[in-house]
Chain A
């Protein structure tokens, strides 16, 4: 990995749930540390409720972390600065331009009463006020070209565009603020299968041509493998396993990663209805005690798993949070 662009350090976010007097806390993200390098596509995978989207919102400063810190490199060779030090409006604006979000639902995330150029032009006006009106128009046309849309599309309304085109508009909006890290939260899961590949290819092209890094949040491991360099697998608010995506998928060490990989439908694989009927449910992590959070679904759990939360450790780029894997034994759960 190159010099990290963004580093999350023991990031934690809890939500209070229940009535006014309730003291129960939902641990959406618990003690998560990771880094994203320059020109890197990192896939963040996990089931619904595992904390993937909360991480995206923490990085986008939609939520403030309960504890922990995010460091972002300002780009001119200076030291990475913690997000909590962004005090001025200008600094925060610059950050949100450089680390934009692309949302899951292209039908809900674009304002239907404005032309699709609206979002891009507005972003240009906010983040790049040195541009004149004419330059903004030219820049918007250039951005549409970058994401593979015809310049004539600028004057269309969202309802005239297909889902795939709208999601491209989402990426154009994201690029408008001189993006350096795009937080893409399930950008293709609402799109038709035949359109998805085009968007995944676009993400790879954007990385190659503009040098932007992408955090690709998904529950689809196969698409993650198609586009990403590195994989982070989340389970119940914690990182279960991380590493170069080819290595992780070829040899998953955490039982949960193995379960995920085995559950991916693969039409090219020979016909088999393996009866690994895992009836487990993703847990709601409310006031958890110590111990591995996967142990209730894990067929190879040992005594220590119930008492001590496994740390994410590993050699080199591969890291895994599993007592059995860390003891050096071979993990073959699913």
Chain B
């Protein structure tokens, strides 16, 4: 349904172009939940904005296609995009506090969206607004509430309700839970999954917290320095990560169960995209890198259905030997 192919996004700056998203390709099927994870500055939010055609200068799409339901979105005018936005594809932003208009009630903001993308009657608007709020578990009296009167969790739910006004086929979510604490985060994730199962829309979910989506996403795309590092079925990526970066990320999570083991994390910090390392972009932080890694930029390889960008992934210890080593 959504096909991203060879997408490149540049930030055009005085000191030269910086490529924030470099040749990213993936597909999202109907009703699929794709998780995109990576550290800050890896280009994941830029990628998401590029899919939704929300990039503003200095960012621009340098190459590639975003095919949504058969049509290439890249290069469409605002007027043409308006027919797709909200109706077929909607976006839930990271911070509901900033994304919602503070001087308008929730109901008025729902009405704006529906008026801008359809010609519904007042009754239809009222009925649909109440319905989507009920879907996310908020009482409809809050249609008259202003954003500041709602708690953080309720604001995020209201944002999700708004995204569902037209029952779109694809909902793009940019860290919708990052401002919430664990309990609210968990219940929102369960709710998103339930809504998805009930209404069958696809989700592209961007987060920096891999553990959060481990139980919810179908496939996982790990980004590093603007590129796809690994892309595969979520459970497989968690159980047998191929890329050393994915493995490092997984091992950076302390667990609340099992023995307390010392963890190392990943040394160094994510690269500045304006000075990309030669060869493999991860080699400076990689525990198994050798001389070749510093020279040869690895291609994305297909390893039994999982895509991985690493020259030495075969030498990665498997899950079994790792747990034995512990």
Interface residues of chain A, those whose CB is within 8 Å of chain B, are 47-48, 162-165, 192-198, 200-201, 219-223, 225-226, 246, 249, 259-269, 271-273, 275-282
Contact = CB atoms under 8 A, between A and B. Distances in A.
Nearest to A280: B183
A265 B252 contact: no
A263 to B, nearest CB: 4
B258 interface: yes
A266 B257 contact: yes
B40 A192 contact: yes
18 contacts: A47-B184, A192-B40, A193-B210, A194-B252, A198-B265, A198-B267, A222-B256, A249-B256, A262-B186, A263-B183, A263-B185, A265-B212, A266-B257, A267-B250, A268-B255, A269-B257, A277-B191, A281-B153
A225 B270 CA distance: 26
B249 interface: yes
Listed residue (B186, B214, B254, B269) with the most chain A CB atoms within 10 angstroms of its CB: B254
A18 to B, nearest CB: 14
Contacts of B248: 194
Interface in B223-266: 235, 238, 248-250, 252-258, 260, 262-266
A194 B254 contact: no
Contacts of A194: 39, 248-249, 252, 265-266, 270
Contact of A264 (B40, B184, B256): B256
A237 to B, nearest CB: 15
Contacts of B214: 265-267, 271
B116 interface: no
Nearest to B269: A162
Nearest to A268: B255
Listed residue (A198, A225, A260) with the most chain B CB atoms within 10 angstroms of its CB: A198
B181 A279 contact: no
Nearest to A50: B181
A192 B39 CA distance: 6
Interface string B262-301: 1111110110000000000000000000000000000000
B212 A193 contact: no
B269 A165 contact: yes
Interface string B40-74: 10000000000000000000000000000000000
B256 A266 contact: yes
Listed residue (B152, B183, B262) with the most chain A CB atoms within 10 angstroms of its CB: B183
Contact of A196 (B137, B185, B190, B252): B252
B182 A220 contact: yes
Interface string B124-138: 000000000000010
Contacts of A198: 265, 267
Given A192-B40, A279-B187, A281-B154, A226 B252 contact: no
A195 B268 CA distance: 8
A14 B194 CA distance: 40
A223 B181 contact: no
Contacts of B264: 197, 201
A219 B265 contact: no
Contacts of A192: 39-40, 208, 269-270
A221 B191 CA distance: 22
Given A193-B249, A263-B185, A264-B182, A277 B260 contact: no
**7 A-B pairs closest in CB distance:** A197-B265, A226-B254, A194-B266, A267-B214, A263-B186, A162-B269, A47-B181
Nearest to A221: B256
Listed residue (B185, B215, B263) with the most chain A CB atoms within 10 angstroms of its CB: B215
Contact of B215 (A196, A197, A272): A272
B146 interface: no
Interface in B121-172: 137, 151-154
B143 to A, nearest CB: 18
Contacts of B194: 275
A184 to B, nearest CB: 16
B216 interface: yes
A267 B254 contact: no
Contacts of A267: 210-211, 214, 238, 250, 253
Given A192-B39, A273-B190, 11 more contacts: A165-B269, A192-B269, A193-B210, A197-B263, A197-B265, A219-B182, A225-B254, A263-B183, A265-B209, A267-B250, A279-B137
A334 B137 CA distance: 20
Contact of A277 (B182, B187, B249, B262): B187
A262 B209 CA distance: 17
B85 interface: no
A291 to B, nearest CB: 21
A278 B188 CA distance: 10
